[in-house]
Structure formats: structure tokens, C-alpha cells
Structure 1
Amino acid sequence: MRTSIATVCLSGALPEKLHAAAAAGFDGVEIFEPDLVASAESPEEVAALARRLGLTLDLYQPFRDAEGVTEELFADVLHRAASKFRLMGRLGIDTMLVCSNVGSATVDDDEVSADQLRRLGDLAQSHGMRLAFEALAWGRFVDDYRRAWRIVDLADHPAVGVCLDSFHILSRGHDPAAIEGIPGEKIFYLQLADAPALSMDVLSWSRHHRLFPGEGSFGLASFVGHVLRAGYTGPLSLEVFNDTFRQTDVHRTAQQAQRSLTWLEDQVAGLAAPPVLAPGADGPRRLPPVAAPAALDFVEVKAEDASEIDAVLRQLGFAFRGRHRTKPVRLWTQGRARIILNEQQARDWVPTLAAVGFEVTDPEASARRAAELQAPTVVRRTHAHEQELPAFRGPDGTEVFLAGVAGDDAAWVGEFEHGETPAGDPLVTDIDHVNLTHSWQHYDEAVLFYSSVLALSSGSSQDVAAPTGLVRSQVIRSADGAVRLALNVAPPAFDHPQGYPQHVAFSATDAMTVARRARGRGLRPLPIPANYYDDLQARFRLPDQELAQMQELGILYDRHAAGEFVHFYTETVGGVFFEVVQRRGGYDGYGAPNAPVRLAAQHQRSAPSGRH
């Protein structure tokens, strides 16, 4: 299907927006009027640039306060419209977006609105133009797409149709099923935006918090399915008002936008009842079908000197499995938990979580899917008889590797030599989850990236209080919980010397025993304040002896109806720390009530001596 993007989605001047849209693979753009008004280029120059870039100019928008007005005011509407039609002719655009009236003096009469759109349609037709009438979610009277269609139907003019905007429809909770009752040829344009679930006035929600498809909570695949079943054959176009996107790199945002539409088309094509398309219409693109990863294969920590991480892993009971036969890389394992320490090309690196490996059923298909979603390829040099794993780079720079499903030991483990034999019956059995931190500018991009590229599901986000602000967190996971990524965005005021740390959580059969043995080997767990344990006793009535042991070992605890969660943290080394977790019963969370305590403890440990 053809794709388009409104220039309001992107940062920069109009020529920069057009170049970025073309480079990202869009077929066309919507010209947002303020972008043209502020541009130094004439309409003819804008049109010529679009042609050179292979872009069509699909829509001019917005035209406001056009219907439901007095006859005296309608004369001004016709004057404004005639001027805009002449301008559109210079741009080579044949469709104008007309928004429902928001003025307090608007006339609440469908016949009046239809008559005025009909006469406006006569004027548009005389210039070779069309009008796409859209019900704004905050329209004075016309705030429902069904009423907008009723007015267009009453107008009964070949140059007057509707524009369907997912935000205006879904933010109001309107049922999109009735879209299928609109003749496809009368749907002149489709605009798409996702959004988080927020409780606020719809105008502010729309102007500041829209997202690209796959980054919010709207059911956009089923929405587009209704539109296609109606017979719509135009482009899938993005109209996303978002404060962050208007500040970030224009090329990166355009690529993110195109990725969202690629993902959305695949979702539409995969509906249980895929839409029957109009004759000659292009169907939604399909991505290579892949299952969610079966397991986390490994985590790599990179550092100029990773010896402190060696020590922590030894204290946690990991076995040293040897050095790589051709690279300055070491491997530690316990159960199926595998940690690689990479000191190659790592000058001045403090310990940093640099890569994550996933076990997938078909690595080549997963790599093709990543490429179609514009994930940048990563190439690492390998020698003969070494396993070459497909890899790409995530939005935060983390490298993602794809390996086949391996069971207890991956084939590449054999490339490490002169190591120890792991002990039987390990207490740590696997990697429970990995926490990746992103800058505020790229957090939403990361949610879409990991969920779309790895075919994982995203849950709702939550904010956790930290001493320096709120930490926003969202978990991306497989349905069975075998793979879990916690994506966090740190508060801007966070001032740890190495930046906001990331961490790896290990699954254990007995977290208390792991902590006790680790303490005996010299581990210093993250200190937890005594006040926490007083509160724990008040909430859960734990036995005094058990509570005393937990306090001695720095153990944290949570419980709900489904089960219990026992966990502890190591101190941070460079930019990395580890967590050991034990899930009892059906507990499926992450100890969220304990997160503020952990963040406060880490903040205190990172503060310069004497600062309070």
C-alpha cells in the first residue's frame, strides 16, 4: 500500500522534512499549512523538490471553520477557500482537509452544514479540487465520524467526501465498525495515529501525545481493516502531533514512522478476518512471519577492564567457562544463564550492557524481518569454524543477536576454551529479564522497535518514583514469559557518573540461598534501609526470624494473590548491576512496590561522600 506522512510529524524546515520522508521510503506527504507558510521556498519550488525526491503531495491541511456558519461568514469561507485552491494548484495538490467547526457560534444543523459543503464543493470542483471533511474529536457539534458522513451524504457532491482520522474516532471511544457502511469512493483520505491511554482533555491529548502506530494503546489494525473493507484505496497516512518528535532528528523520526506503518500493514494482513480489498488495490505488506524468541541466549557486558564483573559473577555462583579462542572475550554460565564479558575495542568503556542474544526458531527469517523494519545491521568479524550470528542494532545502541534454539548449551559455547566444568543443580537457572535504558527522545521508538522486530507484546507503562524524578518503565515480553525486556527511560536529572545503569535479572530456585552463599564469597548486595523492613512487617506479617535474615542479606519481597517474589540486587559496577529473582506460585510481576526503594538506595550509593 502507498504510505504518506504529514509534515507536522517531523522536525526541521519543509525541505528537510521532504528529504527525510523520501529517504525513509514514504510515497507521499501531507503539507501542513504552517510548514508552508514559514518556508522560504515558493509553492512551485516545494512541488519541484517533491518530484525530484519521488514524493507525491497528497493533502493540504487544515482548512478550518468552513461549515455551520452564518451566510455572512460563509462569504469569507468561500474567499479563503478560493485562495487556498489557487495555492494548491501551484503545489499540485488536489485534496484539502476540511475540519469540523469548533467555534462557539456554530450552527447545529446538518442541512446547513451540508448545503455549505455542497457550495464549497462547487468551488473546489471548479479548480479541480476535492474536500475531505473530518469530524474533530473536539468539534462544537460535529465530533463523530458518523455525523460527518451523514453531512457529506446530504451534501451529495462528487467533490465532497470524508477524511477518517483514527485519533479523532478512537479517542472518543466511537465504534469504527460503521466505517464499512461508507462507500469506499467517498473516503477521500485516511489519517492514522496511535496514542497512550490518558485521562485528560482530548484537545491536549491530541496536540501533544499522539504516537506512531504500535507505540500506544489504540487497536489500529482492526480500525484499518474496517476502512479497507469499505473500499478505501488511498494511502495510509500518518498525522502525529507529538512534542518529542518535533525536536528529534528528522531522519530518525521518519524512519521510525515508516517502521510503524510496515508493522501496521503486517498486523492488518494478519487479522483473523483480513479485509477484502477493492479491485486493483494493493494489499497490506507482510513481514516474514516469526515466532517470539524462545529464550534469552546471552547478555554481553563490554568494558576496558571487566575484572570487577568477573568477581561479582563468581560471587553469585557462576562458573568460568573459558576465554574465546580468537578474541579477548570471556564466558560465565550458571544453568542456562550466560554472560559474555567483552574487552575487545573497549578502550575507556566502563562496564556497559552492550548486547543481548535471543534464541529464535528461524534466525534467517528473523533477520529478514529486522531488515524490512529498517533495523541497522551489525557485522562482527568471525574466524573459520566460528558461529556467525545475524545481528542488528537497537535504538539505544544495544546489539541484538539471533541464534537458533539451543537447549541447555548453545553451539557457540564451544568456542570458549580452558574453562571450568559447571556444578550440577545450579541455583541460578536462567535469565529472567533484561533492563534496557533509553533516552527520553527515543523511548517510544524502542517500544515499537523491540515489539515489532522481535514479535514481542508490549504491556502498559508505569512511572516509578526515584530521588531525581520519575522513571518510566514498560515491559516487552513473549506470551509465555520466557523472554522479558524492561524498557526504561531515566529522568533527565539523573546524575550517576556512568549514566543511568542497566541490569540483568537471573531466575533462581532459592534466592535466599544464593544471597547467603554470595555473601560468604564476599558479595556486597545493595544496602536496603531498615525502614523498608519495618514496612514489610506491617504489610505482610512475615516471621521475625525470616525478616531478620532478609534484612541481613538485602532481600526484598512482594506478594499478591497469585504468589510471591523474592529478590536482591548487587551494587552497580560502572553502568551495570545484577538482580537475582525467585518467583513463587504464579507471581508474574517485577516487584514494582520495591522499585522506589532500590532507586533510592542506588542514588545514595552513587552520591559523593558526605552529600545527603
Structure 2
Amino acid sequence: MRTSIATVSLSGSLTEKLTAASRAGFDGVEIFENDLLASPLTPEEIRRRCADLGLTVDLYQPMRDIEAVPAEEFARNLRRARHKFELMRRLGADTVLVCSSVHPLAVDDDALAGYHLRQLADLAQDFGVRVAYEALAWGRHVSTYDHAWRIVEAADHPALGTCLDSFHILSRGSDPKGIEDIPGEKIFFLQLADAPLLAMDVLQWSRHYRCFPGQGGFDVADLVRRVLHTGYDGPLSLEVFNDVFRQAEAGPTAVDAHRSLLVLQEAVGVATPPVPVVPTGVAFAELVTPDAEPVSALLGALGFTRTARHRSKPVDLWQQGEARVLVNTAGAARRDGTGLAAIGLESPDPAAAARRAEALLAPVLPRRRALEDAALDAVAAPDGTELFFCASPGDSASIGQGDAPVRPEPPDWRADFADVGHEAGTPGVTRIDHLALVQPWHHFDEATLFHRSVLGLHAQESVDVADPYGLMRSRAVTNADGSVRIALSVGAAPTDDTVHAQHIALATDDVVAAARRFRAAGGRLLPIAANYYDDLAARYEFADGELDTYRELGILYDRDAHGEFRHCYTVTVGRVFFELVQRDGYRGYGAPNAPVRLAAQHAGRPVR
């Protein structure tokens, strides 16, 4: 299907918005009146600019407070409309959005509303324009889509139809089933937006918190299915009012927007991108650092051993159990010191995973590699983290068996590393439990959609965590068995980049023993305030001496319906710290303890 986006959904000048929409792959745009009024370009120049970019002008909007008003007011409205229809002819737009009236003098009279809309449609028809009437969720007398349709149906004019807007319909809790009773040819336009489920004034909700489909809590796909069932053949268009999007760079926002429509089309069965290939495990986490010594000391204290060196790059492989960390000193120019730059994801079909990513606008990253290096595909997550698709252990043995088509054996990334003669010792750490990635403040919703759609991971409920200087949002994405867990978070403020570092959580069967070994090896654990343990004593009963041990080592504790969770943290090196976690049936991430951890990190100074 054709895709479109309202210019109000993006930041920047009108020219910047049009360029971003075109580069992201949209077919058309809705021109928001304020964007046109502020543009130095004439309507003819905007029309030519759109044509050069391969964009159609699908809608001009909005026209407000038209219907069911006093006669003198309506006469002024027709005069205004005549000017706008002439402008639309110059612009090359053939459909105008008319919102249900919020005028203080508007009356509750459907017959009058229909009469006024019919007169408006008569005038519009003279200019080759169609009128799409939309019910605002906060309209003075018309606030539901079925009410707006009844007025349009009664007015019975070929140039008058309705515009359906998913936010206005779903925010009011209206049943979209009735959409199927509207003839498809009378649905002149479809606008789409999602939103988080909030209890607040619907106008403020609409103006500030809309998001792209798949990023909120509305069932946008069900609504679209019902619209398509009517025979509607117009574009799927995004109209999203969001404070963050309107401050973020237009290009990435437009890509995220178009990705949301690709995923939506897949959900409703009108597009068939490559199917998701859900990762089955974490192959490695890669740290880039200008100075390997502090990282090596930290990994050594945690029980890791440097087991291999890349054959052509300054990259070391550190391993303990099934947990593997790469230390890359090629990024010596990193301004902020050590950082988590890449994640290797084990995949049953790396090539198919890469095709899925590319189809959903996450292009495969170019890589410099020697001829003998494994040809691994990598894509960039919204925060810049590189995601490598690696063959799952043992997958090559099944390639070409049975009736399945034979495909080339996927490369093994570990073949790029030469053994340095150090065997990994008895592991205290068994594997990487999860990875925590702090997102730039304007990429949080985009990151959730990316990991869900591109990687096929399941998104858990969003959690708000109290930080000493604000509120931090966090949302985990995971595969079915929990072998891949990624916690996405965003800091308390756009400029807060000092404490909210990325971190790697390491699974252990005995966190107390692991913490003691780490400390005995010279490692520094994050100290936790004594008040925290006083509160634990009030909330839970522990065995004799157990709480004293936790207090001594800085171990935090939590329970859920499934079991217990014990965890502790190292100090931060550059932009990274490690967490030791012991899960005994527990399914969460220790969110109740996050404010305590954040306060402790604010109180300390990261080691550079």
C-alpha cells in the first residue's frame, strides 16, 4: 500500500521534512498548514519540490470550526475555504481535512452541520477538491467517528467523505467494528497514530504523547484491518503529535515512522517481508576502549580469561563459561572511554536475519575485514550499537538435511581468533544474563519497535524508575526462553550521560561466592547504603547472617511470584559496568533496587 506522513510528525523546516520523508521511503505527505505558512517557498515551489522527491501531496490540513456555526460565521468560513481551495490547486493537493467543530458558538444540530458541509463540498468540487470530515475526540458536539459518518451520509455529496483517525477513535474507547459499515469509497483518508495508555485529558494526550504504530498500547492493526475490509484503497498515513519527535532529527524519525508502517502492513497481511528470525542466545558482547588495562583488570577479577586474539585486528576474546566478551582497542578515539559497542546474537539463520533487518530499513553495515575473516552481517540499532548475526552453536550440522534446501554453511566468528594458550578456568559465571542499553532520549520508543520488529523479540511492560535527578524509563525485550534479554532504558534528562552507562549482567549460580572471588582478586564492588539493608530486614525474613553477608558485599535482593533474585554491581569503567546476578526462578531485572543502585552510582565517580 501507499504510505504517507503528516509534516507535523517531523522536526525542522518544511524542506527538511519533505527530504526526510522521501529518503525514508514514503510515497506522499500531508502538508500541515503551519508548515506551509512558515515556508519561504511558494505553493508551486513546494509542489515541484515534492515531485522532485517522488512525493505526492495527499492531504492539506486542517480546516477547523466550519460546520454548525451561526450564519455570519459560516459565510466567513466559506470565504476562507475559497482561498484555501485555490491554494490547494496551486499546491497540487486534492483532499482537505475538516475537523469537527470546537467553536464556542457551534450548535448541536446534525442537520445544520450536514447542510454546511454540503455547501463546503459544493465549493470544493469547483476546485477539484474533496472534503474529508473527521471527528475530533474532543469535538464540541461531534466526537466519534460513527457520528461524523452519519452526518456525511445524510449530506450525501460526492465530494464529501470521512477521515478516520486511529487516535481519535481508540482514545475514546470507541468500537472500531462499525467502520466496516462505511463504504470504502466514502473513506477519503486514514490517519494512524498509536499512544501509550494514559489516564489524562484527551487533548493533551493527543498533542504530546502520540507515537508510531507498534510503540504504544492501541490495537492499531485491528482498526486497519477493518478499514481495509471496506475496500479503502487510499494511503496509510501517519499523523503523530509528539514532543520528542518534534525535537529529534527528522531523518531517523522518518525511518522509524516508515518502519512502523512496514510492520503494520505485515500485521494486517498486505505485505510480506522476510519472516523474523528470533535470536537464540548471546554470542558475545564487544567493548571498545582506548586503554585495555582497566577493562582487562576488571574482567580478570570477574574470573574471565583471555583465551584468544583476533588474527587481523586488535581484539581480544575473554571467556568464562558461555560468557564471552571482546575487548577492542581499535576505537582509541572514543571520547567517553570504554563503551559497549557491539553485540553478537546467535541466530539459526544469520543470512535470513540480515534480510529481515534490511527489509525493515536497518541496512547491513559495511565492514572492513581481511579475506580470511568471517563474513558476518551486522546492522545498527537506533542507539548505534552494532548487532552481529552469528550462527547458533551446532546449526551447521543440520544444514541441508531432509527436504530443506541446502544453503552455505554460516561462518563461525570464533574461527577469526587464534588461541593464546590460556584455558578458561572453572567458571563462577555461566553466561551473559542480559545486556542493558541506555538509549539517547529521543530514541527510546524507536528502540523498542526496532528490537520487536527487526529481531522478533517480545517487549515487556515499560517500567519507570526513580533516579535522584528525575525519572528513568526502562523496557526489556526478550526471546521466549530468556536466553536473550536486553533492557532498554532512557536517562532522566536529555543531557544525563554521566551515570546511565551500558552494562553487562553475568549469570552465576552463587552470587555470594562470585562477589567474594571478585573482591579477593582486587575488584571493587559498588557500595550500597546501609539504610537499604535496614529496609530489607523490615520487608523479608533471612537466615542468620544472610543479610550481614549482603551488606558486606553490596548484594541487593528482590522476590517475585516465581522466585528470588540476588545481584551486585562493579564500579563503572568508562561507560560500562558489570552486574553479577543469581536467578532462582525470578523473571525480572531487579527494578525495585534500581533507585538504590542509581543513587550509589551518582555518589561515586566513574573510573576512566
TM-score (norm 1): 0.93
Partner AA of 2:445 in structure 1: D
Q: Is the 8 A contact 1:303 1:346 kept in 2?
A: yes
Q: Is the 8 A contact 2:276 2:453 kept in 1?
A: no
Q: Secondary structure at the match of 1:293?
A: coil
Partner AA of 2:315 in structure 1: V
Is residue 340 from structure 1 mapped to residue 326 from structure 2 by the alignment?
A: yes
Displacement of 1:348 in angstroms is 4.8
The 1:495/1:452 distance shift into structure 2, 3 A limit, reads: closer
State the match for 1:593 in structure 2: 592
Partner AA of 2:596 in structure 1: V
Q: Is the 8 A contact 1:468 1:494 kept in 2?
A: no
Percentage of identical aligned residues: 56
Partner AA of 2:71 in structure 1: E
Q: Secondary structure at the match of 1:31?
A: strand
Q: Alpha-carbon deviations, 1:391-433, whole Å to 9, x = none?
A: 0112211111001111699933342311422345x33222111
Q: Is the 8 A contact 1:14 1:39 kept in 2?
A: yes
Counterparts of 1:117 and 1:65, CA distance in 2: 11
Is residue 469 from structure 1 mapped to residue 470 from structure 2 by the alignment?
A: yes
State the match for 1:577 in structure 2: 577
Displacement of 1:128 in angstroms is 1.6
Partner AA of 2:478 in structure 1: R
The 1:78/1:501 distance shift into structure 2, 3 A limit, reads: same
Counterparts of 1:328 and 1:334, CA distance in 2: 20
State the match for 1:432 in structure 2: 433
The 1:392/1:496 distance shift into structure 2, 3 A limit, reads: closer
State the match for 2:419 in structure 1: 417
Is residue 186 from structure 1 mapped to residue 186 from structure 2 by the alignment?
A: yes
Counterparts of 2:379 and 2:237, CA distance in 1: 28
State the match for 1:364 in structure 2: 351
Counterparts of 1:419 and 1:133, CA distance in 2: 74
Q: Is the 8 A contact 2:435 2:503 kept in 1?
A: yes
Is residue 316 from structure 1 mapped to residue 302 from structure 2 by the alignment?
A: yes
Displacement of 1:31 in angstroms is 0.8
Counterparts of 2:118 and 2:462, CA distance in 1: 46
Counterparts of 2:473 and 2:289, CA distance in 1: 27
Q: Alpha-carbon deviations, 1:34-58, whole Å to 9, x = none?
A: 1111111111111121122221111
State the match for 1:83 in structure 2: 83
State the match for 2:379 in structure 1: 392
Counterparts of 1:190 and 1:381, CA distance in 2: 45
Q: Is the 8 A contact 2:276 2:454 kept in 1?
A: no
Is residue 444 from structure 1 mapped to residue 430 from structure 2 by the alignment?
A: no
Counterparts of 1:329 and 1:407, CA distance in 2: 25
Q: Alpha-carbon deviations, 1:543-602, whole Å to 9, x = none?
A: 3400011111111000133211111111111111001111112x2111111000000111
CA RMSD of aligned residues (A): 1.9
Q: Alpha-carbon deviations, 1:340-385, whole Å to 9, x = none?
A: 1111242455211010111112111111121122224323333344
Displacement of 1:259 in angstroms is 1.7
Q: Is the 8 A contact 2:376 2:413 kept in 1?
A: no
Counterparts of 2:199 and 2:394, CA distance in 1: 45
The 1:392/1:427 distance shift into structure 2, 3 A limit, reads: same
Residue 404 (structure 1) aligned to one of 386, 391, 413: 391
The 1:496/1:74 distance shift into structure 2, 3 A limit, reads: closer
State the match for 1:280 in structure 2: none
The 1:428/1:305 distance shift into structure 2, 3 A limit, reads: same
Q: Secondary structure at the match of 2:548?
A: helix
Q: Alpha-carbon deviations, 1:167-221, whole Å to 9, x = none?
A: 1111111121211111110110000111112221110111111111222222122
Partner AA of 2:566 in structure 1: V
Counterparts of 1:364 and 1:183, CA distance in 2: 44
Displacement of 1:331 in angstroms is 0.9
The 1:419/1:468 distance shift into structure 2, 3 A limit, reads: farther
**What number of residue pairs does the alignment pair up?**
591
Displacement of 1:246 in angstroms is 1.7
Counterparts of 1:496 and 1:159, CA distance in 2: 54
Q: Secondary structure at the match of 1:440?
A: coil
Counterparts of 1:561 and 1:400, CA distance in 2: 33
Q: Alpha-carbon deviations, 1:501-523, whole Å to 9, x = none?
A: 11011122222221122222222
Displacement of 1:67 in angstroms is 1.4
Q: Secondary structure at the match of 2:330?
A: coil
State the match for 2:20 in structure 1: 20
Displacement of 1:494 in angstroms is 6.4
Moved more, 93-102 or 348-357: 348-357
Partner AA of 1:333 in structure 2: Q
Q: Secondary structure at the match of 1:606?
A: coil
Q: Alpha-carbon deviations, 1:102-154, whole Å to 9, x = none?
A: 12332212222222212222222222211111010111121111111111111
Once the two structures are superposed, the pairs formed by residues 295-306 of structure 1 within 5 Å of their partners are 295-306=281-292
Listed as ranges, the gaps of 5+ residues in structure 1 are 270-283
Q: Is the 8 A contact 1:266 1:286 kept in 2?
A: yes
Counterparts of 1:94 and 1:154, CA distance in 2: 23
Is residue 288 from structure 1 mapped to residue 289 from structure 2 by the alignment?
A: no
Displacement of 1:451 in angstroms is 1.9
Displacement of 1:444 in angstroms is 2.0
Partner AA of 2:419 in structure 1: E
Q: Is the 8 A contact 1:494 1:500 kept in 2?
A: no
Q: Secondary structure at the match of 1:378?
A: coil
Q: Is the 8 A contact 1:325 1:417 kept in 2?
A: no
Q: Secondary structure at the match of 2:565?
A: strand
Once the two structures are superposed, the pairs formed by residues 114-129 of structure 1 within 5 Å of their partners are 114-129=114-129
Partner AA of 2:332 in structure 1: A
State the match for 2:508 in structure 1: 508
Is residue 602 from structure 1 mapped to residue 588 from structure 2 by the alignment?
A: no
State the match for 1:458 in structure 2: 459
Q: Is the 8 A contact 1:496 1:603 kept in 2?
A: no
Counterparts of 1:51 and 1:326, CA distance in 2: 48
The 1:96/1:371 distance shift into structure 2, 3 A limit, reads: same
Counterparts of 1:70 and 1:290, CA distance in 2: 56
Displacement of 1:72 in angstroms is 3.1
Is residue 33 from structure 1 mapped to residue 33 from structure 2 by the alignment?
A: yes
Partner AA of 2:39 in structure 1: S
Moved more, 558-567 or 250-259: 250-259
Counterparts of 1:28 and 1:607, CA distance in 2: 48
Q: Alpha-carbon deviations, 1:67-121, whole Å to 9, x = none?
A: 1223332222222222211111111211110101112332212222222212222
State the match for 1:239 in structure 2: 239
Is residue 381 from structure 1 mapped to residue 368 from structure 2 by the alignment?
A: yes
Q: Is the 8 A contact 1:207 1:241 kept in 2?
A: yes
The 1:348/1:9 distance shift into structure 2, 3 A limit, reads: closer
State the match for 1:275 in structure 2: none
Q: Alpha-carbon deviations, 1:261-315, whole Å to 9, x = none?
A: 112212222xxxxxxxxxxxxxx32221023211111100010112222222222
The 1:467/1:408 distance shift into structure 2, 3 A limit, reads: farther
Counterparts of 1:53 and 1:351, CA distance in 2: 41
Moved more, 591-600 or 237-246: 237-246
Q: Secondary structure at the match of 1:157?
A: coil
Displacement of 1:607 in angstroms is 8.2
Q: Secondary structure at the match of 1:20?
A: helix
TM-score (norm 2): 0.93
